[in-house]
Structure 1
Amino acid sequence: MRRIKTNPSVAAALVAACLVMGGIAASPLGAQPSSAAASQAVPTYADLADLSDAASLVIRAKVRRQAALKPERAPDVPADMVRLYIEAETISLLSGSVPIGESLTYLVDLPRTAKGKPPKLKKTEVIVFARPVPRSQTQLQLVDPSAQLVWSPQLEGRLRPILSEFVANDAPPRIASVRDALSIAGNLVGESETQLFLETADNSPAAITVTRRPGQAPRWGVSFSELVDQSARPPERGTLAWYRLACSLPARLPPQANLARNADDRARTESDYVFVMQALGPCERNRS
């Protein structure tokens, strides 16, 4: 790749961007992929939801210029990756209410090519998941070091419904933990009801109900309201409600959350929790 000769203003921007990048390493999204294969994998629903949830700005842009930072300027970047300073042109704001400029700058970590060179991104359209830098309409801080995806109509088509779900008035809240769980046997043999009350980030209500009736398959559903609705349904896979549960709940019921007193009720509570987790299925991610 041809080396870009930077003028003093661009050099200053690089320094500022490096300072911004320092805050990205502590992103709440957790560990980042260290291999090129992980970075190039097709993002799953959970990947896109992770990025969307963390971003206050989701922007479609076109790369105009790039410059690779020297290894000493990016000591935390693995050898098969490179940190690029990007200058891009805004195409559209997919999500966010913060004013942004026509030109954008940010840092991104990407896998090197098979020859060990930085990828060539000039004129490539991308989607970036970012936060604004205070007092700047041009500088961005990506929500994690690799929070840039190559734009395509298919990717934007998958992403837009996710962004719409996040800003809906009835958007399911973030799940922090299982607060309480209790199972009560009914009057008939094989009849029971289990309730799982969830702790949410904004203290809004969330509960899962599992009902069993003799001769019937167990039924379950989730409610995000004050009422514990026995007619609540399971969330469809690939929706925000599914993501909140499948990608946040622990694989096993925390023992301290189980309020059942006798052994049978405790065992049934644990079994119903496993039943729900199996019904939700795995939270598949390709980015971490």
Structure 2
Amino acid sequence: MPAPAKNRQMLRFGTLLAFNLVAMSAAAPAIAQPQPPAATQTSGIRAFSYADLADLALTAQLIAGVTVVKAERLKGELAPNLAAGKARFLIEAQTGMLLRGADGLAGTVSYIVDVSLDARGKAPKLKKARFILFANRVPNRPQEIRLTSPYSQLDWTQTTESTLRAILTEATAASAPPLVTGIGNAFHVPGAIPGESESQIFLTTADNRPISLSILRRPGEQPQWAVALGEMVDDSARAPARDTLLWYRLACFLPARLPEKSTAALSASDAEAVRADYRHVLTQLGRCGRTIER
């Protein structure tokens, strides 16, 4: 006697459903939702910031452009722990491009995603929609992927694709800036004339590569600052342009205040001068611009 339709459906989802639901539950606290709109942008395209896209892109094994072939809504037992105002779908999609992913990606992939309901409580139409996905592989299942966060299915736009390509190009270059993890020692040298000085602030990085900030002040001029990706500060050192990988590494990862230990060896006046120079750097960098929390 054939199994009831509901049981056949549950069997069909198999390990894809189980694997994704466990992963979604584990990942949920990692990214908060400080402001609307919701994770997937099917009811109106949201402009994610450079920092948002960099956060997503640099932590995903796979970044792919897909077109949805089939979207099957999961309800009841097939959608446990579903947040209010959301609908859960099992998606089958055709891979159109692969921006990141060693060893390639299958032409057709499956994944699970939660999407926001509209004001009338209706789910968006997903079939034939184009998305950019940030995902990890499912071990031993090349046609199944797992989205990395609630924000990992974005509406495709040319702007989003171009920004991601720029981020990934910089990130894979030999000259890619390291991940900033904190601040080391800082130094300050007064100049020969009043109002002239130079501060140097050394940063700590995930791979111990050297990176430092230098701030030069001259009377009657705006302070000049630069970042050096090496042991020495030379004429090639410049302040980074906004929405570049180096800018992101600084604007989004530097602490809001200079740690006391960084100026512990300085006099009180030199320490205050360094703190003022550090504040100037943060002001020049501007806000990180995240709209989703890491």
- Under a length normalisation based on structure 2, what TM-score does the superposition of the two structures give? 0.87
Provide the residue aligned with 2:18 in structure 1: 18
Q: Contact 2:87/2:123 (CA < 8 Å) preserved in 1? A: yes
1:267 partner SS: helix
1:156 to 123, 137, 161: 161
Is 1:209 aligned to 2:210, yes or no? no
Provide the residue aligned with 1:187 in structure 2: 192
AA of the residue aligned to 2:171: F
Question: How far did 1:152 drift?
Answer: 2.3
2:143 partner SS: coil
Provide the residue aligned with 1:59 in structure 2: 64
Aligned-partner Cα distance in 2 for 1:257–1:83: 49
Q: Deviations over 1:53-100 (max 9, x none)?
A: 111211011111223333655554431223322111111111222332
Question: How far did 1:28 drift?
Answer: 10
Q: Deviations over 1:2-23 (max 9, x none)?
A: xxx7884874435433323423
Provide the residue aligned with 1:45 in structure 2: 50
Is 1:272 aligned to 2:256, yes or no? no
AA of the residue aligned to 2:228: S
Between 213-222 and 253-262, the greater mean CA deviation after superposition: 253-262
Q: Deviations over 1:226-264 (max 9, x none)?
A: 223365110000111101100111111122222442110
Quick one: structure 1 residues 46 and 76, their matched pair in 2 at CA, closer, same or farther if it must change by over 3 Å?
farther
Quick one: structure 1 residues 184 and 78, their matched pair in 2 at CA, closer, same or farther if it must change by over 3 Å?
farther
AA of the residue aligned to 2:70: R
- Structure 1 unaligned spans of 5+: none
Quick one: structure 1 residues 210 and 142, their matched pair in 2 at CA, closer, same or farther if it must change by over 3 Å?
same
Aligned-partner Cα distance in 1 for 2:247–2:220: 28
Q: How many residues were matched structurally?
A: 284
Q: What do you get for the CA RMSD once the two structures are aligned? A: 2.5
Aligned-partner Cα distance in 2 for 1:60–1:122: 14
1:50 partner SS: helix
AA of the residue aligned to 1:16: L
Is 1:235 aligned to 2:240, yes or no? yes
- Structure 2 unaligned spans of 5+: none
Between 49-58 and 209-218, the greater mean CA deviation after superposition: 209-218
1:64 partner SS: strand
Aligned-partner Cα distance in 2 for 1:35–1:274: 28
Q: Deviations over 1:147-199 (max 9, x none)?
A: 01111223222322122111111111111111222222223212221111111
Provide the residue aligned with 1:31 in structure 2: 31
1:19 partner SS: helix
Aligned-partner Cα distance in 2 for 1:11–1:35: 37
Provide the residue aligned with 2:178 in structure 1: 173
Q: Contact 1:206/1:224 (CA < 8 Å) preserved in 2? A: yes
AA of the residue aligned to 1:63: V
Aligned-partner Cα distance in 2 for 1:19–1:215: 62
Question: How far did 1:138 drift?
Answer: 1.1
1:137 partner SS: strand
Q: Contact 1:24/1:144 (CA < 8 Å) preserved in 2? A: yes
